[in-house]
Amino acid sequence: MEIFVFIGSLFLFLLMGIPVAIVLLLCSVVLMYTIDMFDPMMIAQQVMTGADSFILTAVPFFMLAGEIMKEGGISQRLISFGQVIVGRFNGGMGYVAILASMLFAGLSGAAIADVAALGAVLIPMMVKCGYDKPRSTGLICASALSAPIIPPSIPLIILGVTVNLSIGKLFIMGIAPGIMLGVILMVTWYFVVKKDGYHDRVVISGSEAIRVFFNAIPALMLPVIIIVGIRFGIFTPTEGGAVAAVYAFVVAFFINRELKLKECPRVFFNAVRTSAVVMFLVAGAYLVGWLITMAQVPDQIVELLKDLVNRPTMLLIVLNVVFILLGMVMDITPIILIFAPVFYPLVRAAGIDPYYFALLMVVNLSIGLITPPMGSVLFVGCSVSKLAIQKLVKGILPFLLAEFAYLIACIVFPQLIIAPAEWMMD
């Protein structure tokens, strides 16, 4: 009974166009009345408890680091570095876009930041090279999905806090899937180049390539510092966020000299605004999570799907179909906050590796960011490129299908995620 009340009220309020954070509070009130334990003081207490987390302090720090890097001339340096590495091939600017997105993912942790920072620069460059604009924008949007997967991934931090998993281990497990996703897009782009007949190449002289390489080193070192620091226990993920923010400021202000003091208030405001949205969602979701536990909703889910507990692969397929459907209408953060606590008891009961499932869930929900009708990255891409959503969906289709194929491969072959992580953690 409680599970249907919760899901029904959730989608009813969402369809009414109410902001997600407010929806979570309203769903909590409905659920409290249903189980006859309504208490306004309890709502306030659980909301405050949800936001009062030391680990979650990493979120505003990494967001600040991403904002500083975005404003500090990092985007152009990463694009130039990509031109040196892969620009010499036919359709070179497409490969550059994919590589630059993967590199920027190690700085931002958010797909929307990737599209906004790189799309404004790369899309005009690709169109100038003769590329179809919807195809170019689609490639940028699809490539940005590395950001929620490659550390420092904001969704992985939130998921780790929500279901009590090690952030450091999640970061390490996210490296290989993020890189594989980029490689798959490069393979897909190879066939698109053949079909669409692109022949552009970016040729850079040896001396210029050396200069570009050295200019890119400070930006490239940030994800290395974070991963190595967390992997070897030099600092916690939260401390790593602070290190990232300070390092980003040093690079942008003292080394690149493109961040001015007068721009700092705007950069800090953008980071605070984005962090506030996330923390409001986290606080509301904590209340929902506490209530669904009190209402024994996870037990009801396990009972409902108990026939699949002994069939882990079929269970994974069912849960991934659910996540695909949710990802079509909701953003990645609220899905994690609301549904991860609901499904994780079932995952553990089936004996599925919780870290493997975490990466599978984030990969799935990341694809939802570019899946119509509500993919948030699609709308950012439309805004950057001034395209209608219908044209962008047509341009992104081959890349979307390739990423769905990768998701299916990860379900059928779990070692694609587990084996590289085990090798890196040995």
Q: What pLDDT is stored for residue 219 in this prediction?
A: 83
The pLDDT value given to residue 8: 83
Task: For residues 278-305, give the mean pLDDT.
Answer: 76
Residue 76 pLDDT level (bands cut at 50, 70, 90): confident
pLDDT of 424 strictly over 80: yes
The pLDDT of residue 317 is 93
Least-confidence region, from 128-137, 167-176, 326-335? 326-335
* pTM of this prediction exceeds 0.75: yes
Using alpha carbons, select from 175, 172, 218 the residue that is nearest to residue 69: 218
When pLDDT is cut at 50, 70 and 90, the band that residue 298 belongs to is: low
The pLDDT, as a whole number, for residue 206 is 78
Q: pLDDT digits over 152-182, tens only?
A: 888 999 999 889 999 989 999 999 999 999 9
Q: For position 273, what pLDDT does the model report?
A: 85
Share of the chain above pLDDT 70, in %: 98
Q: Is the pLDDT of residue 110 over 90?
A: no
Q: Residue ranges of the domains in the chain?
A: 2-425
Q: What's the pLDDT at 426? A: 67
